Amino acid sequence: MIGRLNHIAIAVPDLTAAAAKYRDLLGAHVGQPQALPEHGVTVVFIDTGNSKVELLEPLGEASPIAAFLDKNPSGGMHHICFEVPDILVAAARLVEVGARVLGDGTPRIGAHGKPVLFLHPKDFDGTLIELEEV
Amino acid sequence: MIGRLNHIAIAVPDLTAAAAKYRDLLGAHVGQPQALPEHGVTVVFIDTGNSKVELLEPLGEASPIAAFLDKNPSGGMHHICFEVPDILVAAARLVEVGARVLGDGTPRIGAHGKPVLFLHPKDFDGTLIELEEV
């Protein structure tokens, strides 16, 4: 079912500083910050050629990564995202086999404008998994 | 400097159970367990086409992931690995710009038989970064 590793997301307390480290220390291909107020984050993408790293900084009062950064003030790996060809087929299959889809179980439009869902980290060894229809 | 995202590594308390979840719930391409006693881990690779997920279970008394699993008993994302063309050039450049290479600063042979080094997670927003010469 799952296909390519679309991205690994890292929550950071200071996006400008984090992006500078990837660019200046690691010589990575670092994009420009994009504010996504409807998702409560500002993001910077790092293009690794085969995949992406997504740096996430909270934006606004109800950011979905605020609690994570409260627990991990220095930042840390937040989630991994796999591509699926059909998010509704994926959601139905996962519920059928007993995996928990976060929220109301319905895919929503993610930060890249495509349908996504998140799986409960307790079902996958403490790892928050995002599935994105691509 | 850094190139492709080679893999994202996830430490898990039970490798057989974790591999089964990726295979049976997510329909992923899951390989066979490989014991690497010289690295203190048993690994299972998941091939995502463009990259890999590496599931890690402690092996032996002095596993490098034992402390992580003590702190995170359910498991969790442990490190990300980027490819570099020349590990010695990478190490020299990183030390020059003030990043901390773990251990004695010298690349060693990693779990894939290639030279690797690890960077201090405090220099990269709580994320343990491995560089592998490919």
> Any idea where the domains of chain A sit in the sequence?
5-133
Identify the band that residue A110 occupies on the pLDDT scale cut at 50, 70 and 90: confident
Name the residue of chain B whose CA is nearest to A28's CA.
B2
User: Minimal Cα–Cα distance from B107 to chain A, Å?
Assistant: 16
User: Minimal Cα–Cα distance from A37 to chain B, Å?
Assistant: 22
Residues facing B58 on adjacent strands: B41
Name the residue of chain A whose CA is nearest to B7's CA.
A5
8 Å CB contact between B119 and B100: yes
Residues of chain A in contact with residue B24, where contact means CB-CB under 8 angstroms, are: 97
Residues of chain B in contact with residue A77, where contact means CB-CB under 8 angstroms, are: 8, 76-77, 80, 126-127
Q: What is the largest CA-CA distance in chain A?
A: 46
Q: Do B76 and A12 touch (CB under 8 A)?
A: no
Name the residue of chain B whose CA is nearest to A49's CA.
B4
What does the pLDDT read at residue B5?
A: 98
What homologous superfamily does CATH list for B5-133?
2,3-Dihydroxybiphenyl 1,2-Dioxygenase, domain 1 (3.10.180.10)
Q: Give the number of A-B residue pairs with CB atoms closer than 8 Å.
A: 126
Q: Do B8 and A10 touch (CB under 8 A)?
A: no
Is a pLDDT exceeding 90 seen at residue A14? yes
Give one DSSP letter per residue of B7-63, joined into a string: EEEEE-S-HHHHHHIIIIIT--EE---EEEGGGTEEEEEEE-SSSEEEEEEE-STT-
Which of the residues B38, B83, B96, B130 is marked catalytic? B130
Residues facing A79 on adjacent strands: A9
Compare CB distances from B10 to A27, A75, A125 and report the shortest one's residue. Answer: A125
- The C-alpha atoms of residue B78 and residue A76 are separated, in whole angstroms, by 10
Active-site annotation of A, residues: 130
What does the pLDDT read at residue A111?
A: 80
What does the pLDDT read at residue A5?
A: 98
Q: How wide is the angle at C-alpha B13 spanned by C-alphas B78 and A73, nearest 5°? A: 35
User: Minimal Cα–Cα distance from A34 to chain B, Å?
Assistant: 19
| Token pair for B51 | 């990259």
% helix / strand / coil in chain A, to the nearest 5?
25, 35, 40
| Token pair for A101 | 């889809």
Identify the band that residue A106 occupies on the pLDDT scale cut at 50, 70 and 90: confident
Q: Determine the residue type at B98.
A: G
pLDDT in tens, A57-88: 999 988 999 999 999 999 999 999 999 999 99
pLDDT in tens, B22-51: 999 999 999 999 999 999 999 999 999 999
Identify the band that residue A90 occupies on the pLDDT scale cut at 50, 70 and 90: very high
Residues of chain B in contact with residue A122, where contact means CB-CB under 8 angstroms, are: 74
Which has the higher per-residue pLDDT, A112 or B115? Answer: B115
Q: Determine the residue type at B81.
A: C
- The C-alpha atoms of residue A87 and residue B126 are separated, in whole angstroms, by 31
Residues of chain B in contact with residue A97, where contact means CB-CB under 8 angstroms, are: 24-25
Name the residue of chain A whose CA is nearest to B83's CA.
A48
**DSSP label at A21?**
I
The interface pTM score, or ipTM, of the predicted complex is 0.96
